[in-house]
Amino acid sequence: MKVEFAAADMTERLAPFRAVLEHGGVRDALDRLCAAEWRRGTGQAVRARALKWHGDRCTFEIALRTEEGWHSVIGKVYTGHRSDVFWAMQALGQAGFGPEADFSIAQPFVYLASLGVRLEEKVQGPSAKEIFLNGGPDLHLAAAERCGQWLARFHRTAPPLGHVADLAAEFSRYRYWTDLIARLGEPLAAKAERLFRRLEAVAPTAGALAGCMGHGSYIPEHVILSGRRTATIDLDDYDVGDPGRDVAWFLVSLRRLALKHLGSLHGLDGAGERFGEAYRASGRGDAVINLAFYTALECLHGAKRDAVSQAPRAREWADAMLDEGLGALDSARGRMVSV
């Protein structure tokens, strides 16, 4: 049974990942899923399309046709071994984040260690990002509240899985981001350097907080709203660290969505406020302590992404993110509703 790929995915950079999905071991695993999950025997056809590529990994939606119609799963192909993500997802399911829970993660089905492939549930429903971009104000607030509630429960109850984040060891990477931004010339170069130096000066010390499990890239795109269920995907960067980092990732991501798609950095501030309120109601109180630092850091990260993009307004966006980061450190109030 040959895998049919979307025409847009027939590129050289995706060729190694396509080759893995065409391996007989993947097809056998898909057939077993057909029998075990959907009670439909073996698949009659397989289609795949790439959803996201990160260089060392690629995420595909894989659709299998059976006698009863099409069924979809998510297949993540890694260039290295990431069995740890599969076991972490299984542990989270057993800790109360299984597919039957209101606050959950995508169910992991199988990890093919010899191929570096994980097959997992495709959660049906829109992402929070889609709702923020296409829904009305009431839907924005409802989605933001559910995102805040999910993260609060995760920080409070998830087992501390993964390595302990070492912030000091990451500053060489932040230096690299700063140098990339500097290539855009002034005034961005000076702003990026100033932001980097200030981040160095106020960085939290190791052991300043009792860490909790962190998602690592908690953004609206990674939260799926499926009926009453709120499910989060993409745990590749999970670790144990400061809860303020995940909060900052989400809030800065909201600002970037508003900047790029709504024409105003503050176009989704109402959703950001509702997210903060929902998190504070049941999350960790210490998430606020270093929130200004992580907000500024994620602004630097966003400016770096703009610097390497080919978007026509990349300079404008990078400038806005640097100003936002500097402003977060200036305020240093750490209030979730104000960053």
Instruction: Answer for the pair 322, 191: CB distance below 8 angstroms, yes or no.
Output: yes
Tell me, what's the pLDDT at 147? Answer: 98
Amino acid identity for residue 27 in this structure: R
Tell me if residue 35 falls in helix, strand or coil.
Answer: helix
Domain layout of the chain by residue ranges? 3-121, 128-338
Q: What distance in Å separates the CA atoms of residue 49 and residue 64, rounded to the nearest whole number?
A: 12
pLDDT in tens, 79-127: 999 999 999 999 999 999 999 999 999 999 999 999 999 999 999 999 9
In terms of C-beta distances under 8 Å and separation of at least 24 residues, what long-range contacts does 81-87 make, across chains too?
Answer: 81/113, 81/116, 82/57, 82/116, 82/118, 82/236, 83/111, 83/113, 84/162, 85/118, 85/235, 85/236, 85/238, 86/111, 86/118
Q: Does domain 3-121 bear CATH number 1.10.10? A: no
Q: Are strands 117-121 and 69-78 parallel, antiparallel or unpaired?
A: antiparallel
Q: What share of the chain is helix, strand, coil (3-state, %, to 5)?
A: 50, 20, 30
Element (DSSP H or E) covering residue 262: none
Tokens of 322: 């640097």
The CB density around residue 219, as the number of other CB atoms within 10 Å, is 23
Tokens of 224: 């799926």
Tell me which residue has tokens 């966003």: 302
* β-strands 108-112, 69-78 pairing: unpaired
Strands (E), 24-132: 45-53, 57-66, 69-78, 103-105, 108-112, 117-121
CA-CA distance, 44 to 146, in Å (whole number)?
38
Regions of the chain with pLDDT less than 70: 1, 38-43, 207-210, 333-339
Query: Do 128-338 and 3-121 fall under one CATH topology?
Result: no
> Looking at domain 128-338, what is its CATH homologous superfamily?
Aminoglycoside phosphotransferase (APH), C-terminal lobe (3.90.1200.10)
pLDDT of residue 41: 62
pLDDT at 336: 41
Contact predicate 26/20, CB 8 Å: yes
The residue among 26, 24, 25, 21 whose CA lies nearest residue 10 is 21
* pLDDT score for 338: 40
**What sign for the dihedral angle of Cα 170, 172, 174, 176?**
negative
Omega prior to 99 cis, within 30 of 0: no
| pLDDT attached to residue 125 | 97
126: left (phi over 0), alpha (psi -120 to 50) or beta: beta
